[in-house]
Amino acid sequence: MISVEEKLAVFTQYLLKKQRDAGKVTIDAAKEKREVLLKEAEEKLNEDRRNIEERNYHVIYRDKNKIIADGKNTSKNKLLEQRCRILDDFKDTILDISKDYVGTPEYNEYLDHCLQRIPENFNDIKNIRIFALKEDRDFLKKEVARILPDYTVTFEDASGLIRGGLIVRDGQNRLNCDFTINNLIRDNSRFIGMRLNEMMDGHKEAVTQ
């Protein structure tokens, strides 16, 4: 006959086995749950990493394009500034060499053209003052007598003010027409700039070929 102690021992062993079995089930369930959670966490981490990388790619791509655009704009502005300086220097050079143009047949033809434009600018006003280089006065007097025979003309020396050409004013200084070389260059700045750019671009192409 089984004693009470033996029954207790058997029951204890049973309880221990049950506890072990239950614990194993619990542990196995916990392990499975942990594996699921780890997998979900890893997937979430990978998704976050992809999102960050994608976001960084877009940021880098955007910044790269911005940097390139800014660089192009900076280069363009610097080139424009350089060309403006070159254009100013070029116009100054034209002014400097214009003194060699004075007295040439082409220059005298230009003066004649200026005198021919006086009637259209002054209408019925025939009392005028002409400001010109001292060395042009004799030629202008002769051409005024031929082109503007019915005009009363006073000649003024403008040698310190202009490089060539002439300025025409009425007797009351109300009308003023600037036919000077200085103004001719100013009025043709765009054309001069276009030709200068063509020269520079042509030189650049020749260098790069």
Domain that holds residue 114: 104-187
Helix axes 4-97, 189-208, angle to 10 degrees: 120
Name the pTM for this structure. 0.56
Place of tokens 């979430």: 44
Do 127 and 73 belong together in one domain?
Answer: no
Contact 169, 131 (CB under 8 A): yes
The answer to whether residue 3 sits within a structural domain is: no
Q: Are residues 115 and 181 in the same domain?
A: yes
173 shares a domain with 109? yes
Q: What is the mean predicted confidence (pLDDT) over 191-204?
A: 71
Q: In terms of Cα–Cα distance, which of 206, 182, 185, 193 is closest to 82?
A: 193
Adjacent-strand bridge partners of 152: 127
| Least confident window among 12-16, 61-65, 68-72, 79-83 | 12-16
Specify whether 112 is located in the same domain as 178.
Answer: yes
Indicate whether 129 belongs to any domain: yes
Domain count, the chain: 2
User: Chain centroid to CA 115: how far?
Assistant: 42
Q: What is the mean pLDDT of residues 184-201?
A: 78
Query: Which residue would you say has higher pLDDT here, 200 or 101?
Result: 101
